[in-house]
Amino acid sequence: DIRPVTRALLSVSDKTGLVPFATALVAHGVELVSTGGTAKAIADAGLPVKDVSELTGFPEMMDGRVKTLHPKVHGGILAIRADKGHQASLAEHAIAPIDLVVVNLYPFEATVARKADFEETIENIDIGGPSMIRGAAKNHNDVAVVVEAADYEAVLAEIAAHGGTTLPLRRKLAQKAYARTAAYDAAISNWFARELKEEAPAFRAFSGKLIEALRYGENPHQSAAFYASDEIRPGVATARQVQGKQLSYNNINDTDAAFEAVAEFHPARTAAVVIVKHANPCGVAEGASLEEAYAKALACDPVSAFGGIIAVNRTLDAASARAMVEIFTEVIVAPDATDEAIAVVAAKKNLRLLLTGGLPDPRAGGLTVKTVAGGLLVQGRDNASADDLDLKVVTKRAPTDRELTDLRFAFRVAKHVKSNTIIYAKDLATVGIGAGQMSRVDSARIAARKALDAAEALGLKEPLTKGSVVASDAFFPFADGLLAAVEAGATAVIQPGGSMRDNEVIAAADAAGLAMVFTGVRHFRH
Ligand code: 93A
């Protein structure tokens, strides 16, 4: 199943590694055929190369839209070598077989990323390239197809060792080729969907480029891999890992949760820190500095913070890094870090440090995807920001300025905690987080219980929920959840409102002297 390589067609937009690859092919006696720019690059290196127009008898035309779309090219790629009829067609039409197709496509994704205008983006949709790739991959029994420079070496190694390519390599390359054309078309379709502003309702193609295979998934018996999507958003998928061992599936999931949460806090307004454990925040705080914010976030639940993931919204500095390395932490993720902070983290060999180069825009659109048996559930991101809330006071007492600041803070955090969520906050720090309970009352009680534990650990006389504010991700269906918060010492409440029993809940709040505001926005997160 070795197929010698006599003739190769090279047509690449990204010319990385092209000349050394072409040089090696020529050394192995391979005849090269190329499109305009690729042929020029090869000829400039002093190598023999035939222009594709020589093969087709047609010039490249229509601004390059038609260069390789011709039977002389596609016949040479698709002909089955062992088929007598195909051989006869080759002979009849004087078509030379092509044994190796090397194509990388017009940079459509990069064109979108640099926000080119509509016309230019359209022009960067490659037609001839995918056609050759798909043809060569279909005919992988006879033809090898290479869609990225990373595979040049493997092809050369086989030619050197066997005088041609082996079937297993050609099959692997064919698989990769279709992954590439599928991802390419998905990127085009998704760009159209965004241009048409049809977010959730439009059918979206899903595609990803493999970042790396992971050791395992959520549990050791599950396989896993990490893929980059075509969404342009700084985060764990695009981050630079400065140090530490490979991220695990759970690390990636938790780091994402932490970083998306911390991005809710605009760095020009405040320093903020989020500590995450099992995809839920166990401490969130704002402060005058990251160091201060970290201390406040840690105080919320120092027990859970052990082995957690820390996200910060500003450049990580040495003072905060020094505080962070005091306990065992899995990951620190930051937009950036000072050299001094990087040096502090370096002392902890296993601690992973990720730098993203920026914060994602919490108001940006985009989709979330969840698989269900036999289907995909797709929705627009929850991009409602606490900065845009139109708060409505529903109680006799209006919140004080201080309460109001904490209420906004608490609701900002509630968005990033699994439902049912109850958040107690005081002085721009969470003091009790109740997450993921089936009943809202339980969340309120658990959050209060955790605040008691934290107070005990810190040697305080009373829990920090005394005089706190409370946020609920969704309305209180009954007054009981609210009463649990009153019992814990909350003085003000923020919640979406909209329950059939809002009046009961408001009456209970008034009776307890609470101030309550409705957001009209719900933050379910399941
Ligand atoms: O505009 S196209 O869709 N029409 C074609 O016939 C065609 N053939 C190859 N684009 C086409 N290509 C693409 O040209 C390749 O996929 C490659 O990305 C690029 C290489 O052009 P050049 O060799 O001129 O740099």
Contact (CB, 8 A) for 234 and 359: yes
Counting atoms of ligand 1 from 1, which one is nearest the CA of 65? 1
522: tokens are 């719900």
ipTM of model over 0.90? yes
The preferred substitution site among 126, 146, 184 for testing ligand 1, maximizing ligand atoms within 8 Å of CB, is 126
- Mapped onto helix, strand or coil, the DSSP state of residue 260 is helix
97: tokens are 């077989």
C-alpha 164 – ligand 1 centre gap (Å): 26
C-alpha 129 – ligand 1 centre gap (Å): 6
Counting atoms of ligand 1 from 1, which one is nearest the CA of 13? 18
What are the catalytic residues?
A: 138, 278
Ligand 1 within 6 A of 494 CB?
no
Residue nearest to atom 14 of ligand 1 (CA): 11
C-alpha 211 – ligand 1 centre gap (Å): 26
Total residue length of the chain:
526
Would you state the pLDDT for residue 482? 94
Residue nearest to atom 25 of ligand 1 (CA): 37
Would you state the pLDDT for residue 198? 61
- Mapped onto helix, strand or coil, the DSSP state of residue 525 is coil
What span, in angstroms and rounded, lies between the C-alpha atoms of 307 and 329?
Answer: 4
Residue 303, classified by CB atoms within 10 Å of its CB into exposed (0-12), middle (13-18) or buried (19+), is exposed
What span, in angstroms and rounded, lies between the C-alpha atoms of 389 and 373?
Answer: 36
The preferred substitution site among 11, 109, 180 for testing ligand 1, maximizing ligand atoms within 8 Å of CB, is 11
Q: Which contacts of 78-84 are long-range, i.e. CB under 8 A and separated by 24 or more positions? A: 78/135, 78/138, 78/139, 79/139, 79/142, 80/139, 80/141, 80/142, 81/3, 81/142
Counting atoms of ligand 1 from 1, which one is nearest the CA of 66? 6
What span, in angstroms and rounded, lies between the C-alpha atoms of 59 and 51?
Answer: 10
Distance, CA of 195 to chain centre: 20
What span, in angstroms and rounded, lies between the C-alpha atoms of 337 and 485?
Answer: 39
Contact (CB, 8 A) for 251 and 364: no
C-alpha 77 – ligand 1 centre gap (Å): 16
Give the end-to-end CA distance of the chain in Å, rounded to a whole number.
Answer: 51
Distance, CA of 269 to chain centre: 25
Of the candidates 81, 114, 116, 110, the residue with the CA atom closest to the CA atom of residue 95: 81
Ligand 1 within 6 A of 108 CB?
no
Of the candidates 189, 235, 180, the residue with the CA atom closest to the CA atom of residue 209: 180
C-alpha 231 – ligand 1 centre gap (Å): 25
What span, in angstroms and rounded, lies between the C-alpha atoms of 510 and 483?
Answer: 11
pLDDT in tens, the chain (526 residues): 999 999 999 999 999 999 999 999 999 999 999 999 999 999 999 999 999 999 999 999 999 999 999 999 999 999 999 999 999 999 999 999 999 999 999 999 999 989 999 999 999 999 999 999 999 999 999 999 999 999 999 999 999 999 999 999 999 999 999 999 998 998 898 888 888 876 544 456 666 778 899 999 999 999 999 998 877 789 999 999 999 999 999 999 999 999 999 999 999 999 999 999 999 999 999 999 999 999 999 999 999 999 999 999 999 999 999 999 999 999 999 999 999 999 999 999 999 999 999 999 999 988 888 889 988 888 889 999 999 999 999 999 999 999 999 999 999 999 999 999 999 999 999 999 999 999 999 999 999 999 999 898 889 889 999 999 999 999 999 999 999 999 999 999 999 999 999 999 999 999 999 999 999 999 999 9
Would you state the pLDDT for residue 201? 45
Residue nearest to atom 11 of ligand 1 (CA): 128
Would you state the pLDDT for residue 205? 64
C-alpha 325 – ligand 1 centre gap (Å): 52
Ligand 1 within 6 A of 61 CB?
no
Whether the full predicted model's pTM is greater than 0.90, yes or no, is no
List C-alpha distances in Å: 406 to 377, 383, 410: 34, 20, 6
Would you state the pLDDT for residue 485? 94
